């Protein structure tokens, strides 16, 4: 979003220089409108409702004999004073929801695996899966039920690298846990790899309508735009044949 605002201002300046002050105001005006709509809340509110609405209500999960709960990583943080690496602040909802679903599954008397997917894209020295796994073990997850996927650096790879783990375990029910804003893209990628997962939101973002622009709303606009761009890129890559071919979950 900041890059787009900057480019609009650059275009405005360039047009003003070329046309001797005429026409540049169009790009400056667009940048101003975009900045106000984003920072004051209307734009992120509109973007978020279209992303999150399908996942607003958490579904009732009917557990099968064998179940897999997949929790997607969202980064790690390093404590400067000690060097300790742990889940970022944005991971709390995902960990809580993942554990809540795991506990409900275990109480049903069925077999349950909790898969945590995430490598080390921030280069902190500890993978998301390992950092989150330690927290989940402390919350009460049985070590034999915890499976870690530690290679993925993005959502596409989450789906790609979790698929063989699911094939090996062969669950009848797969539950996908992520933030509501992220679930549309995540579900699309998992479906591409033949995984029919029930999406369950961990958290739900809400824009705040204000008289003056603020950083929170700008961040939400950035997050929502990233998701739309990710889905658009997926379709574009499919059109050009750049994605791996769609696969069936049960295929060898």
Give the per-residue pLDDT at 31: 72
DSSP assignment letter at 145: G
Lookup result for tokens 């915890």: 146
Same domain for 173 and 108?
A: yes
Residue 251 domain-assigned (yes or no): no
The three state secondary structure string of 25-66 is: HHHHHHHHHHHHHHHCCHHHHHHHHHHHHHHCCCCCCCCCCE
82-141: per-residue pLDDT in tens? 889 999 999 999 999 999 999 999 999 999 999 999 999 999 999 999 999 999 999 999
Residue 18 belongs to domain spanning: 2-52+210-233
- Residue 200 and residue 217 in one domain: no
Does one domain contain both 71 and 166? yes
Q: What percent of the chain has pLDDT over 70?
A: 87
More confidently predicted of 22 and 209: 209
Q: Is the predicted pLDDT of residue 251 greater than 60, yes or no?
A: no
The answer to whether 147 touches 141, Cβ cutoff 8 Å, is no
- Position 244 scores a pLDDT of 84
Cα–Cα distance for residue pair 30/83, rounded to 1 Å: 44
Residue 194: CATH number of its domain? 3.40.50.620
Residue-wise pLDDT tens digits, 7-33 = 656 666 566 666 665 666 566 677 777
Query: For position 6, what pLDDT does the model report?
Result: 59
CB 145 within 8 A of CB 179: no
Mean pLDDT of the region 203-216: 92
Q: Choose between 249 and 162: higher pLDDT.
A: 162
Specify the pLDDT at position 222: 92
- Tally the C-alpha atoms within 13 A of residue 127's C-alpha that lie toward its C-beta: 16
Banded model confidence at residue 178, pLDDT cuts 50, 70, 90: very high
pLDDT value at 235 more than 60 = yes
pTM above 0.85, yes or no: yes
pLDDT at 55 over 50: yes
Helix (H) or strand (E) segment spanning residue 11: helix 2-18
**Do 131 and 23 share a domain, yes or no?**
no
């Amino acid at each position: 979003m900041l890059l787009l605002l900057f480019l609009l201002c650059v275009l405005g300046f360039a047009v003003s220089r070329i046309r001797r002050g005429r026409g540049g105001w169009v790009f400056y005006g667009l940048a101003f409108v975009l900045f106000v709509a984003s920072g004051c809340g209307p734009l992120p509110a509109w973007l978020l409702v279209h992303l999150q609405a399908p996942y607003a209500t958490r579904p009732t999960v009917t557990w099968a004999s064998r179940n897999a709960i997949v929790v997607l990583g969202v980064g790690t943080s390093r404590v400067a004073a000690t060097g300790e690496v742990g889940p970022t602040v944005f991971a709390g909802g995902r960990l809580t929801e993942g554990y809540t679903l795991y506990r409900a599954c275990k109480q049903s008397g069925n077999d349950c695996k909790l898969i945590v997917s995430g490598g080390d894209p921030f280069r902190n020295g500890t993978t998301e899966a390992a950092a989150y796994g330690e927290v989940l073990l402390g919350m009460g997850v049985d070590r034999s039920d915890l499976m870690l996927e530690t290679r993925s650096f993005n959502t596409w790879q989450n789906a790609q690298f979790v698929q063989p783990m699911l094939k090996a375990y062969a669950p009848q029910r797969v539950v996908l846990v992520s933030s509501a804003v992220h679930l549309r893209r995540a579900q699309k990628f998992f479906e591409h790899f033949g995984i029919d997962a029930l999406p369950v939101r961990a958290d739900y973002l809400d824009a705040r309508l204000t008289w003056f622009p603020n950083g929170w709303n700008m961040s939400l606009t950035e997050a929502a735009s990233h998701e739309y761009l990710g889905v658009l890129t997926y379709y574009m890559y499919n059109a050009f044949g750049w994605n791996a071919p769609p696969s069936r979950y049960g295929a060898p």
